[in-house]
Amino acid sequence: MIAFEQARRMVLSASETLEAQRVPAHAAMGRVLAEDVFSPEHLPPFDNTAMDGFALATGGRSVPEGTELNVVAALAAGEAAPAGCDGACEIMTGAPMPDGLDAVIPVEQVMVLEQDGEKRPQRIRLLHAVPPGANVRRRGQDVAAGDLIMPAGTRIGAPERMVLAALGIAGISVRRMPAAALLTTGRELVDDPGQSLQPGQIRNSNGPFLAERLQECGAELRIRQSLPDESGAFTEAVCHCLQAGVGLIVSTGAVSMGRYDFIPDALRALGADILFHKVAMRPGKPLLFARLPGGALYFGLPGNPVSSAVGMRFFVEPAIRALLGVPPERPVRAPLAESVDKKPGFCMLQKTRLQCDDQGRLSAALMKGQESFRIRPLLQSNAWAVLPEQDASLPAGTVVELYGLSGSGIVLNACEVAHAS
């Protein structure tokens, strides 16, 4: 049996970053940058107005309230700025600033003194003073050409897509998605939710959960298969995965010490190098990690749902992050809301709710129902608490490490903030 942190280090050491590939920016959602992205241009690309109003020249000094100006031009967004304006320019939000004009007064802060036949302003009076630079968005004020805007390891989401589009970046270099396979074992499992259960049968909940998690993490799930508790069927499935170019295989069940826990022997027969089998943690102790011939990584997760979830969260997900070149996670640290006793020598991964009181103080409340078959408490949890191996008793107030239920982080909703005690 291997220590929890030692096992995690071995997983990261075996997970070599995948090669890069070029993709169109519009097809990059969820992908991970393989290279830093620098801005090819300024954003905004030109000085422009932040609101509808009138552009004017300040000469570097505030223009006083009551000043009257002739309106000599009008400019909408998308139009080219006139070469020069000897007076004020009616201007719409986003329009470029005319040469020589350096401030904008909002339309609500002027009195129109004269209009032409089409009711276009011809002369205005300022109802407020206008300082230099007022309501003007400067060229490069948001992003300057040459700025580092996204470092390698960034996962592309909607905000990143917005910035790439705004800067005219058509293609980016990303890491190849890990090709993954999911094998669930157990003759008792029923995949079809519409099928009635026969005596001794249970529904396959690990399969949908792990399939979603693998894809959320950035893997390409090429194969998903349910298998009976038979070594031959398992061996055939693994060989099929390898032939399909899969580099990451995750299975559930058949890794413990029972008569039907055949996976360790089947892997050895395939020539796999079992890097560790059994981790000093609960739940999830029977976890197995191996490297198959050709280099594919293999994770054998226990069959109990929460054990499977722990193996996915603390071993498979970090491996995928490493394959994609994403930096390791940093846990949140918070004090325990209540004291807890545990078995020394085992790292305990506990379903937890990180909560915030009305003074802004965080605390970690361990959920009731920590058994590895209980999945309902996950619905009320937002984190996993990591209780160290060496401790047998942790009093209230002990600071512990917390990880989100998934790699996207810990989410505090309004209810948890308002009602934490």
* pLDDT tens per residue, range 235-248: 999 999 999 999 99
User: Does 272 score more than 50 pLDDT?
Assistant: yes
Domain containing residue 26: CATH number: 3.90.105.10
pLDDT category of residue 419 using cuts at 50, 70 and 90:
very low
Q: What is the rounded average pLDDT of the residues 317-330? A: 95
Angle 92-95-96 from CA coordinates, rounded to 5°: 140
User: Does 421 score more than 50 pLDDT?
Assistant: no
User: Does 160 score more than 60 pLDDT?
Assistant: yes
Residues 377 and 406 occupy one common structural domain: yes
Residues 112 and 159 occupy one common structural domain: no
How far apart, in whole angstroms, are the C-alpha atoms of residue 47 and residue 94? 9
User: Does 343 score more than 90 pLDDT?
Assistant: no
Residues 58 and 70 occupy one common structural domain: yes
Q: What is the pLDDT of residues 132-152, one digit of tens each?
A: 999 999 999 999 999 999 999
pLDDT category of residue 409 using cuts at 50, 70 and 90:
confident
φ and ψ at 382, to 5 degrees?
-130, 5
> Over the chain, what is the mean pLDDT?
93
Residues 95 and 126 occupy one common structural domain: yes
What's the confidence (pLDDT) of residue 382? 93
Q: What is the rounded average pLDDT of the residues 75-96? A: 92
Q: Pick from 160, 175, 190: which residue ends a domain?
A: 175
Residue 358 or residue 3, greater confidence: 3
User: Does 406 score more than 80 pLDDT?
Assistant: yes
Residues 297 and 396 occupy one common structural domain: no
Q: What is the rounded average pLDDT of the residues 285-303? A: 96
418: region left, alpha or beta (phi > 0 left; psi from -120 to 50 alpha): alpha
User: Does 416 score more than 50 pLDDT?
Assistant: no
What is the tally of structural domains in the chain?
4
Q: What is the rounded average pLDDT of the residues 117-136? A: 96
Q: What is the pLDDT of residues 38-51, one digit of tens each?
A: 999 999 999 999 99
Domain containing residue 336: CATH number: 2.40.340.10
Domain containing residue 8: CATH number: 3.40.980.10
Q: Which domain holds residue 101?
A: 48-137
Q: What is the rounded average pLDDT of the residues 96-122? A: 95
User: Does 413 score more than 70 pLDDT?
Assistant: no
What's the confidence (pLDDT) of residue 411? 72
What's the confidence (pLDDT) of residue 349? 96
What's the confidence (pLDDT) of residue 85? 83
Angle 148-151-154 from CA coordinates, rounded to 5°: 135
What's the confidence (pLDDT) of residue 123? 96
What's the confidence (pLDDT) of residue 110? 97
Residues 295 and 224 occupy one common structural domain: yes
User: Does 420 score more than 70 pLDDT?
Assistant: no
Q: Where are the beta strands (DSSP E) in 62-163?
A: 68-75, 88-91, 103-106, 110-115, 121-126, 136-137, 148-150
Token pair for 384? 């996993």
Residues 31 and 62 occupy one common structural domain: no
Q: Which of 411, 408, 357, 413 is nearest to 382 (CA)?
A: 411
Residues 6+ apart with CB under 8 A from 407: 216, 217, 313, 317, 321, 329
Domain containing residue 95: CATH number: 2.170.190.11
Q: Pick from 137, 158, 187: which residue ends a domain?
A: 137
Residues 192 and 255 occupy one common structural domain: yes
Q: Pick from 108, 137, 166: which residue ends a domain?
A: 137
Task: Report which residue type is found at 335.
Answer: P
Residues 217 and 295 occupy one common structural domain: yes
Q: What is the DSSP letter of 109?
A: G
Residues 190 and 104 occupy one common structural domain: no
Q: Which residue has the tokens 């241009």?
A: 41
How far apart, in whole angstroms, are the C-alpha atoms of residue 415 and residue 282? 30
Residues 184 and 306 occupy one common structural domain: yes
User: Does 86 score more than 90 pLDDT?
Assistant: no
What's the confidence (pLDDT) of residue 260? 62
User: Does 385 score more than 80 pLDDT?
Assistant: yes
Q: What is the DSSP string of 192-255?
A: -TTSPPPTT-EE--HHHHHHHHHHHHT-EEEEEEEE-S-HHHHHHHHHHHHHTT--EEEEES--
How far apart, in whole angstroms, are the C-alpha atoms of residue 181 and residue 7? 22
pLDDT category of residue 361 using cuts at 50, 70 and 90:
very high
pTM above 0.85, yes or no: yes
Residues 299 and 193 occupy one common structural domain: yes
